[in-house]
Amino acid sequence: MTEFAPPGTRFCALPSPFPMKRGGVLHGARIAYETWGTLSPSRDNAILIVTGLSPDAHAASHSGNPAPGWWEAMLGPGKPIDTTHWFVACVNSLGSCKGSTGPASLDPATGEPYRLGFPDLSIEDVADAAREVVRALGIERLACLIGNSMGGMTALAFLQRHPGVARTHVNVSGSAQALPFSIAIRSLQREAIRLDPLWNEGRYDEDSYPESGMRIARKMGVITYRSALEWHGRFGRVRLDPERRDEDPFGMEFEVESYLEGHARRFIRRFDPNCYLYLSRSMDWFDLGEGAGGDAMAALAALRVDRALAIGANTDILFPVEQQQQIAEGLRRGGNDAGFIGFDSPQGHDAFLVDFARFGPAIGGFLAALR
């Protein structure tokens, strides 16, 4: 049960008690965040970034932490999100293990980790916690709210629950609700973790850790983050050299298997399994149309922003590009100025993390038009 807040992380205390959508409250909770740039005297140049399932708040390097961030090419001086003009805050999601309060955090009532005693987590809770960071920074209205992947869900929930706080919105590979295919994949990931005997109903520790379950869950996730086109282009049917193959007759034989294994092993001890379960389920539960009779389009039409942009990759199978198109169409139905771009990127869902030649100009151009 370990938390992994990067150096230079700042913390925002949440109101105590902090009520959760599905019941229960948190006491003494906090949200991890980082900032870049300078807030203008009129406090009108602020951008908030809400993230996917696994990232921390370290989106880019800064004086407090010079290590490259997960969106390094997108954020900084002269980059698409230009910090010579914009003041940018990125939050780590409530329920994570990267500094924000989650199942791996200590429950102040017991002095022990919450584990499965953590209240049920919803995307709406993540959005409400992010709102508190904006409030703590003294920002009345954001110039733009940017959300990618799960953060695209969080951003829509933020707009719905806190109207008027964001002037514009960029939704990157996000969605207004979870689709059956995505739910199915995430349910298998959670099952892999829970079926590992060392998970032990969430009562594991560093010496008795559900490594096999986490490894399989991460492999399944990575497979869906990229497209079949990219898998074929990168690996084809290339086999491992004999000295790199397992002695197990059913062990690794192909380069793609070795890649997945390496990726999984780099991840599994850097993310808490219970946090993974909670965040994964929060995405499956999310439906922006829940309060509109299940009509996501009606819920999108009820949102209000000055301008919006929804973008994604045509090869994304986890958050299909049709979902970003739905966001733009729903916003336009309500009279909002909303654009949509589907990129012919081969990288699938992860395209926004690597295909900066396409995603960078779109986001940078949108923000430049706001100045």
Query: Cα(273)–Cα(218) distance, rounded to whole angstroms?
Result: 11
Please tell me the CATH superfamily of domain 10-177+288-368, with its number.
Alpha/Beta hydrolase fold, catalytic domain (3.40.50.1820)
Choice among 172-181, 215-224, 242-251 with the minimum mean pLDDT: 242-251
H-helix or E-strand spanning residue 284? helix 273-285
Q: Average per-residue pLDDT in the chain?
A: 96
pLDDT at 1: 57
Of the candidate CATH numbers 3.40.640.10, 1.10.1740.110, 3.40.50.300, 1.10.10.10, the domain formed by 183-277 belongs to 1.10.1740.110
Helix (DSSP H) and strand (DSSP E) numbers for the chain: 11, 12
Query: How many Cβ atoms sit within 10 Å of the Cβ of residue 2?
Result: 13
Q: Which residues are catalytic?
A: 149, 316, 349
CB-based burial of residue 197 (10 Å sphere; 0-12 exposed, 13-18 middle, 19+ buried)? exposed
For residue 2, pLDDT over 80 is answered with no
Bridging pattern class, strands 168-172 and 144-148: parallel
pLDDT at 199: 98
357, amino acid identity: A
Report the Cα 213 to chain-centroid distance in Å.
Answer: 21
The domain spans of the chain are 10-177+288-368, 183-277
| Mean predicted confidence (pLDDT) in 216-221 | 96
Q: Band of the pLDDT at 68, cuts 50, 70, 90?
A: very high
pLDDT at 246: 74
One-character DSSP codes across 293-339 = TT-HHHHHHT---SEEEEEEETT-SSS-HHHHHHHHHHHHHTT-EEE
Q: Using alpha carbons only, how large is the chain's radius of gyration in Å?
A: 20
Angular region, 346: left φ>0, alpha ψ -120 to 50, beta rest? alpha
Cβ atoms of residues 220 and 189 within 8 Å: yes
User: Closest Cα partner for 90 from 175, 6, 199, 162?
Assistant: 6
Kindly report the pTM of this predicted structure.
Answer: 0.96
| Mean predicted confidence (pLDDT) in 109-113 | 96
Task: Read off φ and ψ for residue 177, nearest 5 degrees.
Answer: -165, 155
For residue 154, pLDDT over 60 is answered with yes
For residue 194, pLDDT over 80 is answered with yes
Task: Give the tens place of pLDDT for each residue, 317-360.
Answer: 999 999 999 999 999 999 999 999 999 999 999 999 999 999 99
CB-based burial of residue 235 (10 Å sphere; 0-12 exposed, 13-18 middle, 19+ buried)? middle
Q: Which residue, chain included where needed, has tokens 């602020």? A: 46
User: Closest Cα partner for 116 from 101, 104, 108?
Assistant: 104
Task: Give the tens place of pLDDT for each residue, 247-299.
Answer: 788 888 899 999 999 999 999 899 999 999 999 999 999 999 998 999 999 99
Query: Which of 54-86 are b and which e, b meaning 16 or more Cβ less than 10 Å from the residue's Cβ?
Result: bbbbbbbbbeebeeebbbebbbbeebbbbbebb
Q: Which residue has the higher pLDDT, 143 or 240?
A: 143
| Mean predicted confidence (pLDDT) in 143-162 | 98
pLDDT at 169: 98
Bridging pattern class, strands 168-172 and 307-313: parallel
Domains 10-177+288-368 and 183-277 alike in fold: no
pLDDT at 22: 97
Query: Cα(340)–Cα(323) distance, rounded to whole angstroms?
Result: 10
